[in-house]
Structure 1
Amino acid sequence: MSSSGDQFIPLVVENQNQNQTTLEFEQPNNSQLMIAENVETNILVEDTNSSSIPSVLEQTVAIENPAQGKSSQKPTPTIVVEESITTTASEISRHDNYNQISVTETVSPQIELNRGREFVDYFGKNITKKTVTAANIRNTLSSVETIGIRPAIIYVSAQPDNLELQLFLPNGKPIVRSSEQKRDEVIEVARKFTNQIRTPSQLNSDNYLENAQKLHQWLIAPIAEELANHNINTIVFSMGKGLRTIPIAALHDGQQFLVEKYSLGLIPSFTLTDTTYVGLNGSQVLAMGASEFPGNTEQTPLPAVPVELKSIVNNLWPGKSFLNQGFTLENLKEQSSKEKFKIIHLATHGEFHPGGADNSYIQFWDTKLRLNQLRQLRLYNAQVELLVLSACTTAVGDEEAELGFAGLAVQAGVKSALASLWYVSDTGTLALMTEFYQNLSNRPIKAEALRQAQLAMLRGEVHLQDGHILRNGNEHLPLPRELARGGRRDLSHPYYWAAFTMIGSPW
């Protein structure tokens, strides 16, 4: 939903006639976005008056998409955007060991179209959408500079024979990098890296660093100079298939983690993200969760949840909380219809499984809410800014499960979602969540609040000591009896903090 309240519904009509495919998008004021694809000419026309297509064509510049290798599939659509973003190889800043390619070969609007289709196919229904041009990406990125944010969007695509990065900055032309890393190699390194971090038995090991540095070299190093030159402090990733569940905060350049330099976020695509900025000061949280579940649910207890809810509501943030039997779908709907909660916090199991969206779920007290049922909560009517799921896990390497994770915010109808890629320990989750809400009230954007919480754990400012969570050596929060242990426990390993990901708008 745009800032004006207009809704954009994608892919409502797909008409195939001979060699032409037309996809139509509903927009307000009778405007239409039409993608016409045929054998000889592929054009995307943004038409605000259906009778004026010739004049629109005269004012726009076609960006060619060459045939991709020897694939027998028909070529992907050519894009016409409102301004020319064609760039010659000489205009793209050079970087050793990386191929110079023209923006004309792979452009963001084309990726937006393809990724939008992926999420529509996965969720099985239309989802809110807006149109995209190079100009409105830049305008969006520059619009948050007034609150001290300098963001960039990186589109990452692992092709069979190369890895492509497209960087959009608040100003200037898009920057494209292509390296010779094959898709299979990138996916395998990403899988190993994720498993090394998320496995509790490897908490005393730093064997993840080799793969963390490989991924940093492939995904960040080629554009590091541009990020530095433009004083970027927030990076938003739109990942391609197989890459959406990388714990990106734990990428490492040999000296520091990526989260030590940037606030980070994950979007399904630019068009599927509500990028309007609304501050959270003065808003309330509706916090719900379960520490135990009825026997027929076969869910493991979450003993830290009562402390989590109590520490967040009224201590760190105003609002209401409901535990166990009060944590039902009916009560969530009732409470959110009575008051306008900008934050919904669910301390419960959430699982993103292989298969369709109906295989993944969020566990309420006595029932599972399937991912394809999320919109039944009508959180979009309440204009929820942030949905927090504090105990999630996602199948590693499964392209369908990662669509559910990366599309969580847009499917729920909320602007942003904070969720974990794997089940973090109860104490680790409690420590991060209390730090996050502490920072949320005094940081300009949600992604920076998350970053500060992650840094506090990474740097040892938050740790466990004799049954308490300590902050800078001061007693901060007593742990439930089931979780209390003597001695000191460090929370600096990425297992404890890198799982948590800001999905959707980082601000």
Structure 2
Amino acid sequence: MGCRFHRLNFVTATLLFSLTSSIQVVGTGLIGAASVSAQTTENRSKEALLLYQAGTQQYNQGQFREALQTFQKVLALAKVKGDRQGETVALNYIGLVYFNLGQYPQALNCYNQTLVITKKIGNKAGEGATLNNIGALYTTLGQYDQALKFFYRALVIIKQVGDKAQQGKTLTGIGSVYNNMGDYNQALKFFKQALVIIKQAGDKAQQGKTLTGIGAVYKNLGKYHQSLQFFEQALVIINQVGDKAQQGKTLTGIASTYYILGQYPQSLSFYKQARTIFKEVGNKTGEATALTGMGPIYYLLGKYADAEQTLFAAIKVMELLRNGLLDSDKISMFETQAVTYRLLQQTLIAQKKTNAALEISERGRARAIVELLSSRISESTANKVTIKPLEIRQIQLVAKKQNATLVQYSIIYNDFPLDANQKWRPAAILIWAIAPTGEVRFRLVDLNPLWQQQKTTIRQLIPNYSNIVMEHPKSEQKVSNASNSVVAIVQRSRNDFWIEVALVLIVSASIISIAAWLWRFRCSNNTILAEVSRKSRWLIISLLMLLVAGSNKFLLLLPQNEPIADSDRGLGFVFKAQKFSQSDRLKQLHKLLIEPIADFLPKDPNAHVIFIPQSFLFLVPFPALQDANGKYLIEKHTILSAPSIQVLDLTQKRTTGIFYGGSNALIVGNPTMPSLATHSGEPEQKLPSLPGAEQEAIAIAHLLKTQAIIGDRATKRAILQKMPSSRIIHLATHGLLDELRGMNSAIALAPDPPSSPPYQGGRGKVNGFLTAEEILDTKIKLNAELVVLSACDTGRGKITGDGIVGLSRSLISAGVKSVVVSLWSVPDAPTAFLMTEFYRQMQQQPDKARSLRKAMLTTMKQHPNPKDWAAFTLIGQAD
């Protein structure tokens, strides 16, 4: 419930003119503060006064397009007269109009201009109100951390100036963000605070919005009758003040509540009313929301054609809203829209339109990266690359051009959630296999038995996600500090030292106490695994209260605050136990993801199979999946992956010749490590050296007839300068993982000297970490055929509908055709062996996917544990 529509009571005077009578403006703090200026300024244009009055009336009635034209005229008059205060008012209104029309880049531009002027002229109330508007905009975009930052900044200023009405709006905005984030108790607290203040201020329009917010929270808490009571109270007030846009939002809330209660006719009726209002006032976001709500009702009523038509209409509106947004804003906004694409796929499958469902599956993923890639290709060619969604014939053509079997997955959930906050278990996986001949096979895999019989989910089966690489605990810091630095969000332990536990069981009537000596081991059955730092490997773990049954395996990782291990390619901590056999998980994943289409995969092990995962399936180690006989998938197939079929097609369009060797290869290993703190507020520690990575780089450089860059020479500045002219880039170093935003995932390089000037596109201190965000922000135009990130977790990041937001995505967006990244913490020695073998194979034949497969098979013979050879995946082109 963001503050998408700020209604102002009609005023008889304007901020742009000097009048002798007192002026009362009910609305934003910016308006209220400027009215003081209006009382002391004389000889203002009557024309501007009339325009302002007309504009506010048009805005309050939801006539946004007419209001836009009117306020643009007001802005022009203010500029002519040099009235800076008047400019801020006009710009603020223009921004609000753009916001309600769904033209978010234009709205943000106006708000930013307003913010600059209000600061310059010292209008604190106006500054606070503008910060509020920006917070509401980021809420709509799904950028909740950003929204909270702006709302809290606004709250500080608004409290200083004592504007109660504006304070109530700010508290309502904060409540809306927490509601969207799923923190319902916190949301309710802020909404109730807001309601008290708004009633004191007598702002009826805002009171209706806040009551709507409270209704939304109660709906999300499952208190549906209380929810309806608050929605109905809100609707009475909103109808009284004539706030058309807010009326549509409140009707949407009522409709979604009736849907959850199973009262579909009532729900449909309220959604239709809401859609009519949203169309009338031009609110595209509201219209798309109403259409998305109507779709599943038609589906449940068996009206599949109506559901299809409605959801298609919703998608068309949503795609218009994303036009012109920044990359990060597109990603976050798409996350709020992804449910509509899923619902449409279900609707099409119900009608046996499997090819059409594939088109929607493809259309609903990696849209932001597709637009980035197409813009880069357009810059380097005379012809502009079109980015229309692929149709089935184009998808078949991509499979033919790739000479590969494409396997696309789409996850379907067990209900029709109308709200991103409703968490549902995956209920099914849709799988399409497209052969090079163009033949398409479809399979639907029911996932409900997984939960019903085994009490688990497919996500929990992914070993590198739930076990081998564990998740860090949630940060207790404020959201405003969550993404300030790499330090605040890195990551997990990557120790190469696995400890064997000799178990001594002492059984009593109620408990089992286990005492254990620990020593180094590789994963064997019926053991408790412990991951600790090198300096802690001698410790005795005693009195572990774990029940060991049959062949179950538990993974135990010690708490944080351990010294940084010195043979890692990353850092961190964890403590968690999990009761699953690694081999069983790999076999179950094979059964769910591969067996349904196994008969359609190529028999030739050298033929390419390109997997297009979705969501957490990006973390599946496809090479390590085992069939019923224990044979790994990599033994039967040559495997690649891609964020989407269209991304695959666009990366192929960047055709350049391949040259493995000479000065075109940039090989970096074991740079002089930078320092960072493992916890906020703690002293920095220098990352440990990686001698295995250094030997890896030297060996690969020798194969490619070039010199490895190691130690002090591998500075961030030096590497950035060499990257654009390199055909092969190999970075063997530490990797840092950011699963909160993805864009702070980083590769460690040698720090530049303190005296060095900031590099192009630099973001503050030069600290030796090259982040995913910096790769995009510096707008590096990379021409590399291949980038290998021989470090931990470089294939991970924030999981979104645009794929994994992290290093691999940034490199593909920057122009790289193929990227090799890791899905978990990679041990130093086996990784060095695998990488050297990979380049040795590439010298014999240029196919990168086949070379990686052969390297894995060779490494497997010496290091049979999948942890040692299956972490790396090739994204993009094979040749």
TM over 0.5: yes
- The one-letter code matched in structure 2 to 1:116 is A
Residue number in structure 2 paired with 1:393: 793
2:467 to 177, 180, 195: 195
2:435 to 137, 158, 169: 169
Instruction: Summarize deviations over 1:227-280 as a string: whole Å, max 9, x none.
Output: 147988211111111111111110011331000111111211122230246553
Find the aligned partners of 2:311 and 2:361 in 1 and give their Cα distance.
20
Alignment of 1:355-504 (within 5 A): 355-366=740-751, 367-376=768-777, 378-379=779-780, 381-393=781-793, 399=799, 402-404=804-806, 407-458=809-860, 460=861, 490-504=862-876
Find the aligned partners of 1:192 and 1:502 in 2 and give their Cα distance.
17
1:110 to 360, 364, 377: 360
1:444–1:397 distance in 2 versus 1, CA, 3 Å: closer
Find the aligned partners of 1:87 and 1:403 in 2 and give their Cα distance.
29
3-state SS of 2:703 partner: coil
Shift of 1:88: 11
1:359–1:40 distance in 2 versus 1, CA, 3 Å: closer
Residue number in structure 1 paired with 2:397: 139
1:42–1:173 distance in 2 versus 1, CA, 3 Å: farther
Residue number in structure 2 paired with 1:272: 647
Residue number in structure 1 paired with 2:594: 220
3-state SS of 1:365 partner: coil
Instruction: Summarize deviations over 1:119-176 as a string: whole Å, max 9, x none.
Output: 689x9x988784433333333332354xxxxx11111122222111111211233221
Shift of 1:438: 0.2
Q: Does 1:307 align with 2:706?
A: no
1:411–1:299 distance in 2 versus 1, CA, 3 Å: farther
1:405–1:376 distance in 2 versus 1, CA, 3 Å: closer
Instruction: Summarize deviations over 1:90-126 as a string: whole Å, max 9, x none.
Output: xxxxxxxxxxx5415621x3223321247689x9x98
Assess if the C-alpha contact under 8 Å between 1:409 and 1:503 holds in 2.
no
1:120–1:168 distance in 2 versus 1, CA, 3 Å: closer
2:727 to 342, 350, 353: 342
Instruction: Summarize deviations over 1:448-503 as a string: whole Å, max 9, x none.
Output: 11111000011x2xxxxxxxxxxxxxxxxxxxxxxxxxxxxx41211111001112
Shift of 1:420: 1.3
- The one-letter code matched in structure 2 to 1:152 is T
- The one-letter code matched in structure 2 to 1:391 is A
Find the aligned partners of 2:827 and 2:769 in 1 and give their Cα distance.
22
- The one-letter code matched in structure 2 to 1:269 is S
1:396–1:205 distance in 2 versus 1, CA, 3 Å: farther
Greater helix share, structure number: 2
Greater strand share, structure number: 1
Q: Does 1:289 align with 2:542?
A: no
3-state SS of 2:787 partner: strand
Find the aligned partners of 1:16 and 1:349 in 2 and give their Cα distance.
47
1:244 to 604, 611, 618: 618
1:331–1:397 distance in 2 versus 1, CA, 3 Å: closer
Find the aligned partners of 2:391 and 2:826 in 1 and give their Cα distance.
39
Residue number in structure 2 paired with 1:480: none
Query: What is the TM-score normalised by the length of structure 1?
Result: 0.68
Shift of 1:398: 6.3
1:344–1:75 distance in 2 versus 1, CA, 3 Å: closer
- The one-letter code matched in structure 2 to 1:280 is I
Instruction: Summarize deviations over 1:336-363 as a string: whole Å, max 9, x none.
Output: 45xx321011111122222113331111
Assess if the C-alpha contact under 8 Å between 2:407 and 2:609 holds in 1.
yes
- Which moves more between the two structures, 315-324 or 158-167? 315-324
Instruction: Summarize deviations over 1:260-306 as a string: whole Å, max 9, x none.
Output: 11111121112223024655345531112325424556322211232
Find the aligned partners of 2:643 and 2:584 in 1 and give their Cα distance.
28
Find the aligned partners of 2:600 and 2:770 in 1 and give their Cα distance.
43
- The one-letter code matched in structure 2 to 1:370 is T
Find the aligned partners of 1:402 and 1:501 in 2 and give their Cα distance.
13
Residue number in structure 2 paired with 1:152: 405
Shift of 1:399: 2.8
- Which moves more between the two structures, 395-404 or 213-222? 395-404
Find the aligned partners of 1:286 and 1:111 in 2 and give their Cα distance.
37
Assess if the C-alpha contact under 8 Å between 2:772 and 2:807 holds in 1.
no
Find the aligned partners of 1:420 and 1:142 in 2 and give their Cα distance.
28
Find the aligned partners of 1:72 and 1:439 in 2 and give their Cα distance.
41
- The one-letter code matched in structure 2 to 1:451 is R
Shift of 1:419: 1.3
1:455–1:192 distance in 2 versus 1, CA, 3 Å: closer
Instruction: Summarize deviations over 1:27-79 as a string: whole Å, max 9, x none.
Output: xxxxxxxxxx973754999xxxxxxxxxxxxxxxxxxxxxxxxx996566979
Find the aligned partners of 1:16 and 1:504 in 2 and give their Cα distance.
39
Shift of 1:209: 1.6
1:231–1:430 distance in 2 versus 1, CA, 3 Å: closer
Residue number in structure 2 paired with 1:333: 720
Assess if the C-alpha contact under 8 Å between 2:746 and 2:771 holds in 1.
yes
Find the aligned partners of 2:311 and 2:397 in 1 and give their Cα distance.
33
Gaps of 5+ in 1: 1-10, 22-36, 46-70, 80-85, 90-100, 146-150, 461-489
- The one-letter code matched in structure 2 to 1:372 is E
Find the aligned partners of 1:142 and 1:74 in 2 and give their Cα distance.
30
Q: Does 1:19 align with 2:287?
A: yes
Instruction: Summarize deviations over 1:379-431 as a string: whole Å, max 9, x none.
Output: 5x341111111012269896369432662542443111111122222111110
1:344–1:192 distance in 2 versus 1, CA, 3 Å: closer
Q: How many residue pairs are counted as aligned between the two chains?
A: 398
Assess if the C-alpha contact under 8 Å between 2:673 and 2:748 holds in 1.
no
3-state SS of 2:439 partner: coil
Shift of 1:444: 3.8
Query: For the aligned residues, what is the CA RMSD?
Result: 3.9
- The one-letter code matched in structure 1 to 2:835 is M
Assess if the C-alpha contact under 8 Å between 2:714 and 2:749 holds in 1.
yes
Find the aligned partners of 1:257 and 1:137 in 2 and give their Cα distance.
28
Find the aligned partners of 1:425 and 1:494 in 2 and give their Cα distance.
11
- The one-letter code matched in structure 1 to 2:733 is T
Assess if the C-alpha contact under 8 Å between 1:191 and 1:396 holds in 2.
no
Find the aligned partners of 1:40 and 1:336 in 2 and give their Cα distance.
44
Residue number in structure 2 paired with 1:471: none
Residue number in structure 2 paired with 1:257: 632
Assess if the C-alpha contact under 8 Å between 1:164 and 1:178 holds in 2.
yes
- The one-letter code matched in structure 2 to 1:309 is A
Taking only the aligned residue pairs, the percentage that are identical comes to: 24
Shift of 1:378: 4.9
Find the aligned partners of 1:311 and 1:294 in 2 and give their Cα distance.
24
Shift of 1:194: 6.1
Query: What is the TM-score normalised by the length of structure 2?
Result: 0.41
- The one-letter code matched in structure 1 to 2:816 is V
Larger Rg computed on CA atoms:
2
1:267–1:384 distance in 2 versus 1, CA, 3 Å: same
Shift of 1:328: 1.9
Find the aligned partners of 1:115 and 1:158 in 2 and give their Cα distance.
12
